[in-house]
Chain A
Amino acid sequence: EDQVTQSPEALRLQEGESSSLNCSYTVSGLRGLFWYRQDPGKGPEFLFTLYSAGEEKEKERLKATLTKKESFLHITAPKPEDSATYLCAVRSHDAGGTSYGKLTFGQGTILTVHP
């Protein structure tokens, strides 16, 4: 069974204070690790997909990295508008070889950036 654990559960930063969110995973065969951003009362919004260890993706102040056991979402010089819940999810091969694209989600990290 795939498992995804995100830490910390909540993170409070001052504007400009860089930090990282962690996503540890256990899967039978990784077919993609996904990061989403979710604002209160809204559906998650896609940020990045990573497929293999060593891969990195960047978007504005966000940078996602991947190893064989975990992924990090680095936030450089955050602004208050970066405040949101960040979700990590994995897609894997199932025993029958057909996962139908199902994702297993972590519980998320609630990020608050104070001005």
Chain B
Amino acid sequence: DVKVTQSSRYLVKRTGEKVFLECVQDMDHENMFWYRQDPGLGLRLIYFSYDVKMKEKGDIPEGYSVSREKKERFSLILESASTNQTSMYLCASSLATGGNGYTFGSGTRLTVV
């Protein structure tokens, strides 16, 4: 069964900490995406990557960075966590053409205190 795996289901971090969220896919997909999901705001795109070492800003990149050193792994980095980054973070992957849409991970619920 093909999968997108996010390393943690729940995380609690302190304000100012550097936070790493990891995502691994086993489908040999070219594209990978990071979204955050908040009540009333829906899914908002943070960053995406269409190839190894390539990245593009999404709609809300401020306060975040990403890394894609290998095709199967896409990491989201919160440089200095803040309470307004408390959210559900969803990783997704897709084929280069986007055919068949995304496959999502199970999500990471991050709480910043």
Contact = CB atoms under 8 A, between A and B. Distances in A.
A36 B35 CA distance: 15
Nearest to B4: A43
Nearest to A47: B101
Contact of B43 (A41, A42, A91, A105): A105
A99 B31 CA distance: 11
Given A31-B98, A101-B96, A41 B40 contact: no
Interface residues of A, number: 23
Task: Sort chain B's interface into a size bin.
Answer: 20 to 34
A46 B99 CA distance: 12
A36 B56 CA distance: 24
Given A100-B31, A102-B45, 6 more contacts: A32-B101, A44-B102, A46-B101, A91-B101, A100-B56, A101-B94
What 4 A-B pairs come out closest when comparing CB atoms?
A: A101-B98, A43-B104, A107-B42, A105-B43
Interface of A: 31-32, 34, 36, 41-46, 49, 87, 89, 91, 99-103, 105-108
